[in-house]
Amino acid sequence: MSATHHPVGLAFATALPKIELHAHLTGSISRQCLHEIWQTKKAQDPNLALQDPLIAIPTGKTGESCQGRTQDHRGNHAAPFVDPSKIVSYGKLARAWMAAVGHGPMLVANPGLSRLGHLIHDLLLITTRLKRTTKASFFPLFSSYIYKLCNDLPSIEFSTRAVLQDFQADGVVYLELRTTPRAMPSAGLTKDTYVKTVSNILTAHNRATENSIRAFLILSIDRRNSASEAEEVVDLAIQYQSSGVVGLDLCGDPAQGDIRIFGPAFARAKAAGLKLTLHFAEAEASASDLELQTLLSWKPDRLGHVIHVKEEFRKVIEDEHIGVELCLSCNVHAKMITGTYSDHHFGMWRHTKVPVALSTDDVGVFCSPLSKEYYLAAQHFGLSQNGLQALAERAVDCIFSGPAEQARLKDVFAKWQASSHV
């Protein structure tokens, strides 16, 4: 069977060189990484009131299974993720086992509880939390752990390196991470220090010849920001433009803010040579004609999500050859679209001539790495191995870092094809 018609497996999608253009840094931090940071902080402060993230943050709320690890980010044996598809049966097994021995409460309180007992106890905690945790409460829970654990220089450095390792392990060869500059007064960190720290880690990673992925930074303006706060983000983006910052993003709650106040900030960024990507029509609340006309007037280079888009705006996007960042699992599991994967607007955009970049958005939340997104696209839209490689290459034209990286990526794909992968 030729590669043109050969079915795509997950192994192929993982090995395929891929480009990730819509990934929020904090949303890309895995539960395993949070667990390791928690272990460090717990060792430093035994009175830390925060529960282990592997127990407190349930998997499977999005319907996806987080991939387990054989090693953590320090090279040690990692705690496996529980397959959410088996949570219910595990919960039944746990209760049956504890009922059978007749000492459930005693076992939980007993310091000498066996390893199996600990496992059963943890499973019961997870199933209970899964039942109590709604979609509305899951994201605040995840975010609260991010901001409570990644709140000083060591944790920011550790989590950023872990995110880079995770994307590289998934076959990503080019990455643009986006983050909103954060000040952490309790740790003595300013927004400037935060951006400098993340930028330095990405630069050091790129300089290490053993790394196959090259990573760059996009700074985000939150819709809830004031005009002066937006200008501060632009100042930082320009200041660190020579240190790996390649663009500016507009993100945040689509129901909040008047985006028109940000026009001057984005115009100044554009004039300074920074690229622009905007969360665009991701919800009906942010898809009014006035908002979309305003955003398109800023001359963006890429648009994220592009869900609630009228034909007249689609035509502008196509005519101006604006790249689109499409996030399948995020849109399906967060109910941002009606239907399931096969109903996703990727099915329409893939038949246009604009650059298309499949992306993860928040892999730490949705537990679907980029390889899984490519696999899902192949399964639901009938893409062959050749078709999937063509899709991956399609994103090259809309990366923000410039011609040198575009040339490197074209060479990566040429060598991949020459090695008879397809």
Backbone phi, psi, residue 69, to 5° = -120, 150
Contacts with 265 (C-beta within 8 Å, 6 or more apart), sequence order: 221, 227, 230, 231, 233, 234, 248
Contacts with 189 (C-beta within 8 Å, 6 or more apart), sequence order: 152, 153, 156, 182, 183, 197
**Three-class DSSP category at 279:** strand
Q: Give ∠ CA 365-347-283 in degrees, rounded to 5.
A: 50
Rounded Cα gap, residues 305 and 335, in angstroms: 13
**Three-class DSSP category at 231:** helix
Rounded Cα gap, residues 190 and 200, in angstroms: 15
CA torsion angle 11 16 22 26 (round to 10): 50
Active site residue 231: no
Backbone phi, psi, residue 193, to 5° = -60, -40
Q: At what angle do helices 115-132 and 87-101 cross, to 10 degrees?
A: 130
| Block residue for tokens 């979609």 | 135
Kind plus residue range of the DSSP H or E element containing 278 = strand 275-280
Pair 34, 145: CB distance under 8 Å:
yes
Phi/psi-derived region of residue 420, left when phi > 0, alpha when psi is between -120 and 50, beta in every other case: left
Rounded Cα gap, residues 97 and 115, in angstroms: 14
Pair 204, 212: CB distance under 8 Å:
no
Active-site entry in 20, 36, 64, 282: 282
Instruction: Give me the active site residues, please.
Output: 282
